[in-house]
Amino acid sequence: MKFSSSISLLLAVSSAVPSAVAYTPSSWGIQSRRSPLVMKSDSGGKSFSLTNLFGGEGGGQSSSTLRGSKNLEPHPSVLPHISPLNRLGPDPQSEITSEPLPVHPKVRSGTLPNGLPYIILPNKNPPGRFEAHLQVFSGSADELEPQQGIAHLTEHVAYMGSRKRELLFGTGSQTNAYTDFHHTVFYAVCPVQTPRGGAPMLPMALDALVDVMEARVETSRLEKERAAVLSEMTMVNTIEYRVECQILSTLHRENRLAKRFPIGKEKLIRSWQTDDVKSWHRTHYRPDNVLLYLVGDVDPDEAEKVIADKFGRISAEKQGSEIKLNEIKEQAKDLAKAVVSGTVKAAQSWHYPPVRHDWCVEANADVDPKLLIPAETPDYDIHLQKSYPLDEDVFFLQTEEVAPGKKIRPHIYRHELLQAFSMHLFSKRPVEPIVDLDSFRRSLARRVALAALQIRLNVGGRSDDPAFTFVEFNQLDSAREGCAVCSLDMTAEPHKWKEAIHKSLAEIRKLGVFGVTMGEMERYASSLMTDAEQLAAQGDRIQHGDQLAYLMETVANGHTFMSSEQSYHMTARALSSLTLEDVNEAARELCSHVMSFKEGEPAAEGPVIAVACLPKGYKEGDAEYCDEEALVEAIYEACQIEVEPEKDVVVPFTLVPEDDLAVAMEKNPPEWLGGQFTDGTPNTSPDSITRPFTLRRLGNGIRMGVAYNPHESQRGHLRIVAPGGRDAEKRLGFKKGSMAIGARTMQEGGAFGPWTREQVELFCVDHLLMVEINCSEESITIDFTFPTTNVGNVGFGDEVQLGITGTESVMQIVREIIVGFKWEQDALGRAKSSFRATHESLLKNLENLSTERIMEAMTSEDERFLSIDVPSVDAITLDEAKNAVMSQMSPSNLEISISGDFDVPEVLEMAYKYIGTIPADANKEFLKEEVKEGVGAKIGSVPQLPKPGKFIELELPDSDPRAVAYVAGSAPNAWGYLADGTTVAEKIMDKDKRASDYDKQRRKHPLFAYVALSLLSEIANRRLFSNVRERKQLTYDANFSFTGFERLLGGWFLVTVTASKENAQKALDACKETLHNLRKSQPITPDNVESAKRVVLNRHEFQLRTTQYWTEKMSGLQEESIPLKGPLSFTDFQAVVEAITPKDLQLALETMGLEDDELFTCIGRTVQTATPDDENE
Catalytically annotated residues: 155, 225
- Distance of alpha carbon 485 from the chain centroid: 19
Determine the Cα–Cα distance for residues 1119 and 1130; give it in Å rounded to an integer.
15
State the alpha helices, DSSP H only, in 954-1007.
Answer: 984-991, 997-1003
Query: Hey, how many other C-beta atoms are within 10 angstroms of the C-beta on 528?
Result: 18
Polymer length of the chain: 1177
Distances in Å between the Cα of 513 and the Cα atoms of 407, 505, 965 are: 20, 12, 54
Determine the Cα–Cα distance for residues 888 and 1088; give it in Å rounded to an integer.
43
8 near 263, Cβ under 8 Å? no
Angle ∠(860,865,869) on CA atoms, nearest 5: 95
Spatial CB neighbours of 798, under 8 Å, sequence gap ≥ 6? none
Three-state secondary-structure class, residue 46:
coil
473 near 487, Cβ under 8 Å? yes
DSSP 912: I
Spatial CB neighbours of 47, under 8 Å, sequence gap ≥ 6? 80, 81, 82, 340, 346
DSSP 913: I
Identify the CA nearest to 314 among candidates 221, 212, 217.
Answer: 212
587 near 447, Cβ under 8 Å? no
Determine the Cα–Cα distance for residues 616 and 611; give it in Å rounded to an integer.
15
Instruction: Tell me whether residue 798 is exposed, middle or buried, using C-beta atoms within 10 angstroms of its C-beta: 0 to 12, 13 to 18, 19 or more.
Output: exposed
Task: Establish how many alpha carbons lie within 13 A of residue 69's alpha carbon, considering only the half-sphere containing its beta carbon.
Answer: 17
DSSP secondary structure letters along 1002-1057 = HHTSTTHHHHHHHHHHHHHHHHHIIIIIIIT---S-EEEEE---SSSB-EEEEEEE
Identify the CA nearest to 1115 among candidates 871, 817, 781, 752.
Answer: 781
Identify the CA nearest to 743 among candidates 894, 930, 862, 883.
Answer: 883
Determine the Cα–Cα distance for residues 382 and 84; give it in Å rounded to an integer.
21
970 near 1042, Cβ under 8 Å? no
Orientation of helix 580-590 relative to helix 518-538, angle to 10°: 90
DSSP secondary structure letters along 630-698 = HHHHHHHHHTTS------PPP--S-SS-HHHHHHHHHHS---EEE---SSSPPPPPTT---SS-EEEEE
Buried b (16+ CB within 10 A) or exposed e, 64-83: eebeebeeeeebbbbbebbb
Cis peptide before 92 (omega within 30 of 0): no
265 near 152, Cβ under 8 Å? no
Identify the CA nearest to 181 among candidates 143, 213, 146, 209.
Answer: 143
Determine the Cα–Cα distance for residues 312 and 314; give it in Å rounded to an integer.
6
951-958: strand order across its sheet: 951-958, 1160-1168, 963-971, 1051-1059, 1038-1042
DSSP 41: -
Distances in Å between the Cα of 460 and the Cα atoms of 15, 470, 505, 511, 741 are: 44, 11, 12, 14, 22
Cis peptide before 1172 (omega within 30 of 0): no
Beta strands in 353-502 (DSSP E): 400-403, 406-415, 421-429, 470-478, 483-492
